[in-house]
């Protein structure tokens, strides 16, 4: 039976890095439809607004026709039901990511056993990369060339100027 598999790649994406993009490309090859979805989190003080993050994500994922960009709030498992998605995609860079990711995956499974979390590893070159470090390096005047797409680099520079 032919199946159409929709996966959700959830996150803060504040901002999107080449590590995220690497995972999106890998995910787009495996799943029929990949929804990159930004969490609307009122508790966090992001550098970029949700609208800015969605704009950046939309710009840098244009090349993949089966990738779309969205936002969500509330529980991820409820959002997955609304989107008829059966897979959550998450990236694991190092062992240090594993504990947090395992907790989330198992909690999500406890709430919805039909939802499967799939972990993928980004290219080795991006294993040290995180949005938090990109923000920090940029805010302190460092160079983030090669870590984020040029459009994102430009917006980062505009933020800290
Ligand atoms: O990029 P991040 O900040 O590591 O992403 C975390 C995210 C968005 C995947 C996680 O915080 C999440 O799914 N939040 C939605 C609320 C929810 O479902 N919480 C229970 C998770 S077990």
- What are the chain's domains? 6-127 (3.40.50.620)
Catalytic member of 28, 33, 86, 131: 131
| CB 115, CB 86: distance < 8 Å | yes
- Catalytic, 109? Answer no
Six token digits for residue 87? 């897979």
**Residue 152, number of CB atoms within 10 A of its CB:** 27
Asked if residue 107 has its Cβ within 6 Å of ligand 1, the reply is yes
| Residue pLDDT, tens place only, 90-133 | 999 998 899 999 999 999 999 999 999 999 999 999 999 999 99
What pLDDT does 160 receive? 85
Asked if residue 11 has its Cβ within 6 Å of ligand 1, the reply is yes
Using the predicted structure, report yes or no on whether residue 11 has a pLDDT greater than 90.
yes
What pLDDT does 133 receive? 96
Determine which residue's CA is closest to atom 5 belonging to ligand 1.
Answer: 11
Q: Residue 23 burial by CB count (10 A; 0-12/13-18/19+): exposed, middle or buried? A: buried
Q: Which atom of ligand 1 is nearest to the CA of 90?
A: 9
Backbone angles phi, psi at 132, to 5 degrees: -60, -45
Q: What is the pTM of this model?
A: 0.97
- What rounded mean pLDDT belongs to the chain? 96
Sign, Cα dihedral of 154, 25, 46, 134: negative
Using the predicted structure, report yes or no on whether residue 1 has a pLDDT greater than 70.
no
| Secondary structure class of 109 (helix, strand, coil) | helix
CA of 43 to the centre of ligand 1 (A): 12
Using the predicted structure, report yes or no on whether residue 82 has a pLDDT greater than 90.
yes
Catalytic member of 33, 53, 86, 93: 93
Using the predicted structure, report yes or no on whether residue 43 has a pLDDT greater than 90.
no
- Catalytic, 96? Answer no
Task: Report d(CA 130, CA 136) in Å as an integer.
Answer: 10
- Catalytic, 131? Answer yes
What pLDDT does 13 receive? 97
Using the predicted structure, report yes or no on whether residue 41 has a pLDDT greater than 90.
no
């Amino acid at each position: 039976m032919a199946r159409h598999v929709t996966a959700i790649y959830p996150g803060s994406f504040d901002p999107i890095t080449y590590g995220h993009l690497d995972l999106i490309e890998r995910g787009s090859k495996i799943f029929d439809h990949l929804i990159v979805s930004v969490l609307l989190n009122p508790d966090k003080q992001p550098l970029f607004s949700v609208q800015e993050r969605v704009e950046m994500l939309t710009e840098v994922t244009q090349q993949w026709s089966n990738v779309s960009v969205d936002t969500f709030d509330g529980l991820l498992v409820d959002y997955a039901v609304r989107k008829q998605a059966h897979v959550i995609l998450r990236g694991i860079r190092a062992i240090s990511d594993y504990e947090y990711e395992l907790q989330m995956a198992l909690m999500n499974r406890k709430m919805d056993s039909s939802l499967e979390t799939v972990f993928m590893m980004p290219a080795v070159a991006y294993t040290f990369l995180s949005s938090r470090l990109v923000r920090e390096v940029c805010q302190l005047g460092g160079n983030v060339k090669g870590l984020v797409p040029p459009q994102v680099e430009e917006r980062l520079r505009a933020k800290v100027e």
